[in-house]
Structure 1
Amino acid sequence: MDLFVEEPPGVEICGTFVVGEASMELSIDLDLASEQLLLSEQVAYGSFDRVLDVEINEFTLYHHDEVITTAHVHARYARGIAADYIKSCSRNDPNLNECALKSARESLEQFARGDTSRKLPPLDPLYVSEMTVYIPNENGLKLVFKDNYFHGLSDMKLEKLKFDLNKKVIYTNAVVNLDVHNKYDLSGKLMIVPITSNGDSSIKLKNTVLQISLWYEHVTGPDGKIHWKIINHDIKYNIEKAVFRLENLLGDKAIGDQVNLLLNELWREIVADVGPSVCNSLIEAVVETLGVLLAQVPYDELMPE
């Protein structure tokens, strides 16, 4: 490709190259001192749906008819769904739900860990800034868990996935074990003794059953094609067992063991306090990430006839 520029060397320039019927505009920073062409931005046009990466190694650049440098531009691009870990299913398939469940199981780990090529943020770990519980009530201990990182969503087991294409609803059931790493601040009274402590902590949520419903609508995307858009959601949960551990409680092992014992005796009450906020954070993160994906993949390619 030949690119002619009027700007003086050493500044950002723009050019366009064509592959088949598609073209890509490149914003390039030309650094003659180091003889490098640095790609700073890429935008797809024409039949490009998504650019995976661009490699520059041979490319003829002119400035006022003078050859400045030579490099070659190679682009890998994808059309439509393009991600090999996502398998489409026909919406007319009588076994649509079975096909979708198999596809979702195969793609879940990659989806939860994020996909930079699609700008999908990772969901594993899931971050929740703060959770507060009172033990056994506000007159007792106040326990604040901070900087909570929930690990395990990438290993979640999908049990059911059902599509109601007429009502535009998706139902799914899943089971997951979550390990939470966080910090704690503890204050209040244990019996009649005032205590204050902070440090590292952990929570294990064993066999957490999630029941999720997603309502969607059909919208026309910037590409002129029909896409799904999530408009409402609901989540219900049930936890088989929760195990709490606070480290370095007042530097006193006897008190620490007593407080940890109390926490684990009252795990159901604690989960009832923090469960709704955790599940809300979970479903909002999933919906946001899923929304990014659905905005990129048309309905006819995600679920063709």
Structure 2
Amino acid sequence: MKCAAYVAVLAVLVRNSHEAILKLPTYLKPCSRNDSNFNACALKNGISALPKLVKGDASLHIPVLDPLRLDRIDVKQGSGPVRVELALTDVSVQGLKDADLKAIDFDLAKNTLNVNFIVKKRADVSSRYSVDGQILVLPIKGDGDFNLKIDGLEGTFKCKFDLIKKEDGKQYAKIRDNSFDFEISNAIFDLKNLFNGDKVLGDTMNTFLNENWREVYGEIKPAVAEVVRTVIVRILDEFTSLLPYDELFAA
């Protein structure tokens, strides 16, 4: 949820130079790595660039990020209060256009990056689903349309990067040792066609899910975070492979 925030952070640091492999759009403004207020500059320029990047940019290999499309999210939980097999397919996440960068921390000496962002308005997740298992004390089974509304979404992406020399003799950043974590303030579930379309049982389960959203969220969170982390890294790897390190982090 939110990949644009991390792409914007790196993008704003790129020099607009005639020597660059890519000619960057004017909405991406560079910050010098010798600037004593480097992180503040990156945050300011990242906030400015984010609305453009969410729309996607083919020249930078950045897909449209609102809605964000995910092929599949699988949750297999075999112990604890939630014991389910849940599959979400054809996933669409809307709301990233309302994301704001809150903090950026680059340490170029250690080659590390930490980014914190928040989605200001409600995010909406829709997909197809199939589920079988138990939520707390109740069994759950069904397949159909899935909708999840999320309030107060706040995420943090952390990574280290190596410098890899390519055949052109230049060094490029390669993401490694990365993680993504997120928190929310509320979740509203709506699963259609639970229990073979039994309306009474389905309504009861949806009410139960929403009354116990914290427990449900806690169980599905690791699987969702892993999918989002993978998407972020894939986008960043594409982006950093196009631009040499010395142009990505201007002197």
- AA paired with 1:100? A
What displacement does 1:161 show?
Answer: 0.5
What displacement does 1:108 show?
Answer: 2.4
Q: Structure 1 residues 229, 248: CA separation in 2 closer, same or farther (over 3 Å shift)?
A: same
- Whether the 8 Å CA contact 2:82–2:136 is kept in 1: the answer is no
Who is 2:60 aligned against? 118
Who is 1:234 aligned against? 179
What displacement does 1:113 show?
Answer: 3.5
More helix by percentage: 2
In 2, the alpha carbon distance for the partners of 1:192 and 1:273 equals 15
One of 34, 49, 55 as aligned partner of 1:107: 49
What displacement does 1:82 show?
Answer: 1.9
In 1, the alpha carbon distance for the partners of 2:246 and 2:136 equals 63
Q: Structure 1 residues 157, 224: CA separation in 2 closer, same or farther (over 3 Å shift)?
A: same
Residue 89 (structure 2) pairs with residue 146 (structure 1): yes
Residue 213 (structure 2) pairs with residue 267 (structure 1): yes
The runs of at least 4 consecutive aligned structure 1 residues that moved more than 6 Å come to 189-195
Q: Structure 1 residues 175, 252: CA separation in 2 closer, same or farther (over 3 Å shift)?
A: same
What displacement does 1:285 show?
Answer: 0.9
Name the TM-score, length of structure 1 as normaliser.
0.65
In 1, the alpha carbon distance for the partners of 2:46 and 2:18 equals 26
Considering only aligned residues, what root-mean-square deviation do their CA atoms show, in Å? 3.0
One of 129, 138, 147 as aligned partner of 1:202: 147
- Whether the 8 Å CA contact 2:31–2:250 is kept in 1: the answer is yes
The SS at the match of 1:285 is helix
Unaligned runs of 5+ in 2: 1-16
In 1, the alpha carbon distance for the partners of 2:241 and 2:136 equals 55
Who is 1:33 aligned against? none
Relative contact order higher in (CA < 8 Å, ≥ 6 apart) = 2
Percent identity, please.
Answer: 33
Name the TM-score, length of structure 2 as normaliser.
0.78
Give the number of the structure whose alpha-carbon radius of gyration is greater: 1
Residue 124 (structure 2) pairs with residue 179 (structure 1): yes
One of 39, 59, 75 as aligned partner of 1:132: 75
Who is 1:85 aligned against? 27
- AA paired with 2:245? Y
In 2, the alpha carbon distance for the partners of 1:299 and 1:203 equals 40
- AA paired with 1:101? L
The SS at the match of 2:29 is coil
More strand by percentage: 1
Unaligned runs of 5+ in 1: 1-46, 50-77
What displacement does 1:230 show?
Answer: 1.0
Q: Which moved more, 1:250-259 or 1:290-299?
A: 250-259
The SS at the match of 1:296 is coil
What displacement does 1:128 show?
Answer: 4.7
Q: Which moved more, 1:267-276 or 1:195-204?
A: 195-204
